[in-house]
A = this chain, B = another copy of it.
Amino acid sequence: MGFPNVQVHPKVTIEDAFWLNYKKLVAEQVIPYQWKALNDQLPDTAPSHAIENFRIAAGEAAGDYYGTVFQDSDVAKWLETVAYSLRSFKDPDLEAAADDVISIMGRAQAEDGYLNTYYMLVEADNRWTNLRDNHELYCAGHLIEAAVAYYETTGKRAFLGIVENYVELIRKTFGVENGKLQGYPGHPEIELALLRLFDATGKREHLELAVYFIEQRGQEPHYFDMEKEQRKSFHAPPTWNDEHTNFGLGYAYMQAHLPVRQQQEAVGHAVRAMYLYAAMAYLARRTNDTELQTVCDTLWEDVTNRKMYVTGGLGSAVNGEAFTDAYDLPNDSMYCETCASVGLVFWAKQMLLLSPDRKYADVLERALYNGTISGMDLDGKRFFYVNPLEVNAYQAGRKDQEHVKQERQKWFACACCPPNLARLIASIEDYAYTQTEAALYTHLYVAGSVQAMIGDKAVKLIQSHQYPWNGNISITVEGKGRFKLAFRIPGWCLGATASVNGEAAVIDDLVNGYLVLDRIWETGDRIELQLPISVMRVYSNSKIGMNQGQVALQRGPVVYCLEEVDNGKGLGSLRLPRESDITAAFEEDLLNGVVALEAKGWRVAETEELYQIDAPLLEPCRLRAIPYYAWCNRDDAGEMRVWIYEA
């Protein structure tokens, strides 16, 4: 294995109307709101107790542990979000609050470096005895990610020191060597966290521990079997998975059915899969491991071309919150956890870093503008855990769809999604660009600026546009000399044109979907991209049985939906004729400013009979669609539908 240089992060400033608004929402609403949640200061919500657990562990509060076994991770994700947010929005009070939490963590940490409040307070003697179910290494991973982020933003080493000590303990505990546990986590997370830690510290042992956890996964005999046998020798509280069927999915549930290099299909719990695949791609890049890269590409193809919703949602079944078979994409009973789409963004970024190809960025963008941010309301105060593509009149009566909430919730007993989305939005700038030695890649059109060194050349690009509503992108270059600037021409975009200083650029010679401009640049050079953003009718592969005869509307990267508030009840009775013109208009006062779509359509006339022989009568109506991410932000809950029947 070689260890290439640490990936250089371009320095990005966001001035984008769309994303700056979201970032401010996270800074001004979500972070304070989640802080209250973590401190149990929200009325009428499921309690969190997450900060209190650390206080109790530090001996600074009395009481019992409360929460899921992974409650610690909510604090970690909040700290990670704070770390990213502070990059854009200085906030000394917030930073002080974060420092406080970190110092409580430091005082809670055991002498030997261990830090998990569930085990410290509930099962003090049982550390590392149920890696399968109890998220111990998962929580460690989130602490590591938060510490790295906090260190990168603030330069403060306290948190990093805490997790380095913890990692040292983990390193002594786990490994293939005799006398160590040959275990690995039921829920992947620590793998990618350790890779981030390695990038921050440069310490080879951090990389090696990540390699160990990734490669050990799925080896036989299954560690989880041995661990289960071990548990019989002492008392441990029961878990949901004592029967250890993993919801009938076996070790595939946690992607531990096979060693990772033998995995060819995306299986099991979708969030776990995303975290694992992201770590595998990260590792492949950091070790130039083309075999592992191929595995990642095989899995990428399986996920994005057979198991992904048009919104970038993942997880077709509530059972195991998991992938099912190819093309099984039900719109009402699915899981589509916000965290899974967030995880898809993480993975997509790692794939882009491995190999710039717009197929990764197209998916990244799809998830970003749709299935991730749909998880939060426009006020940043209510959240979807599950993101349906269809809410209908009879869903509320189905016990098997009780996981599908028809309105966003204030908080969750299992509160993984809100802070996960927050940390993604707070760091949205990290997803816009990557660079290689010779080129700066622009993957996302996010207004603002980026500064990078390309080779020895300092470059700054300033993007200006109204994306995603408008595709006219102006880019001003600062810098001098020959280097490559690569701009993604989105896969959904037809008829893109480009010019540099008014001269048309050749656009039919894209490199993996990127317009690569290789020239001698001068400060003030101006690149204009015209990415025609028109309304597209999106059709499903014919193997997706449930979407046949239906069309989804997409404009640029934004997927649309019909809502009852605009279209009345019975969205399944609406028809969009294939020949209907669809008008698009920006409406400043609608949903924080969005482009809404309208078209002439038909509504099937109401009838009494359950079945009839006469073809349905159609009455003219006006269809109105809004961006999917913004659904359920007006009035009461009601029906919603992404896939619209054609006439």
Q: For the complex formed, measure the closest distance between the CB of A492 and the CB atoms of chain B, giving whole angstroms.
A: 7
Q: Is the CB of B324 within 8 A of A397?
A: yes
Given known A305-B610, A398-B317, A548-B645, contact A543–B573 (CB-CB < 8 A) = yes
Within 8 A of B (CB), among A607-637: 607-616
How far does the alpha carbon of A645 sit from the alpha carbon of B643 in the complex, in Å?
15
Chain B residue at minimal CB-CB distance from A606 = B542
In the assembled complex, which residues on chain B have CB atoms less than 8 Å from the CB atom of A324?
A: 394, 397-398
The reply to whether B538 and A399 form a contact with Cβ atoms under 8 Å apart is: no
Q: Does A80 contact B (CB under 8 A)?
A: no
Interface residue A592 (Cβ < 8 Å from any Cβ of B): no
Contact yes or no, B248 A399, CB < 8 A: yes
| Minimal beta-carbon separation of A545 from chain B (angstroms) | 3
B319 touches A399 (CB 8 A): yes
Q: A326 contacts the other chain (Cβ, under 8 Å)?
A: yes
A610's partner among B306, B573, B604, B645 (CB-CB below 8 A) is: B306
State whether A573 touches B549 (Cβ < 8 A): no
B317 touches A399 (CB 8 A): yes
In the complex, the answer to whether A492 meets B613 with C-beta atoms within 8 Å is yes
Q: A325, B610: Cβ atoms under 8 Å?
A: no
Q: Is the CB of B550 within 8 A of A572?
A: no
Is A127 close to B, CB under 8 A? no
The answer on a CB contact under 8 Å between B542 and A616 is yes
A144 interface contact, C-beta 8 A: no
Question: Considering the chains assembled together, what is the distance between the CA atoms of A610 and B547 in angstroms?
Answer: 11
Q: Which of A317-333 contact B (CB under 8 A)?
A: 317-320, 324-328, 333
Please give me the residue from chain B that is nearest to A550 by CB atom.
Answer: B549
A543 CA to B572 CA in the complex, in Å? Answer: 7
Check if A543 sits within 8 Å of B393, measured CB to CB.
yes
* Residues from chain B with Cβ under 8 Å of A304 in the complex: 610
Known A308-B610, A545-B572: A397·B328 in contact at CB below 8 Å? yes
Min distance, Cβ A328 to any Cβ of chain B, angstroms = 3
Q: Which residues of B contact A610 (CB under 8 A)?
A: 304-306, 308, 540-541, 544
Report the minimal beta-carbon distance from A394 to chain B, rounded to whole angstroms: 3
Chain B residues contacting A608 (CB-CB under 8 Å) are 305
Question: A543 to B604, alpha carbons, bound, how many Å?
Answer: 9
Which of B248, B397, B536, B611 contacts A325 (CB under 8 A)? B397
With A604-B542, A645-B548 known as contacts, the answer to whether A400 contacts B318 (CB < 8 A) is yes
The answer to whether A537 has its CB under 8 Å from any CB of chain B is yes
Contacts of A393 on B, CB cut-off 8 Å? 325, 327, 543
Look across to chain B and name the residue whose beta carbon is closest to the beta carbon of A618.
Answer: B542
Cβ contact within 8 Å between B646 and A549: yes
Known A327-B394, A543-B573: A399·B320 in contact at CB below 8 Å: yes
Contact residues in B for A548 (Cβ distance below 8 Å): 549, 572-573, 604, 645
User: Is the beta-carbon distance between A394 and B607 smaller than 8 angstroms?
Assistant: no
B615-A572 in contact (CB<8A): no
Highest count of chain B CB atoms <10 Å: which of A327, A494, A572: A572
Chain B residues contacting A396 (CB-CB under 8 Å) are 325
Contact of A538 among B248, B306, B537, B612 (CB under 8 A): B612
A249 at the interface (CB under 8 A from B): yes
Q: How far is the CB of A251 from chain B (nearest CB, A)?
A: 15
Q: How far is the CA of A319 from the CA of B543 in the complex (A)?
A: 27
**Does A578 interact with chain B (Cβ within 8 Å)?**
yes
Residues on B with C-beta less than 8 A from A606 are 542
Q: Indicate if the CB atoms of A328 and B394 lie closer than 8 Å.
A: yes
Q: Chain B nearest CB: distance from A304 CB in Å?
A: 7
5 contacting pairs across A/B (C-beta < 8 A): A536-B613, A538-B612, A541-B609, A541-B610, A543-B572
9 additional contacts (CB under 8 A) given A333-B333, A542-B570, A542-B604: A310-B611, A317-B399, A324-B398, A394-B545, A538-B612, A539-B615, A542-B573, A548-B549, A578-B615
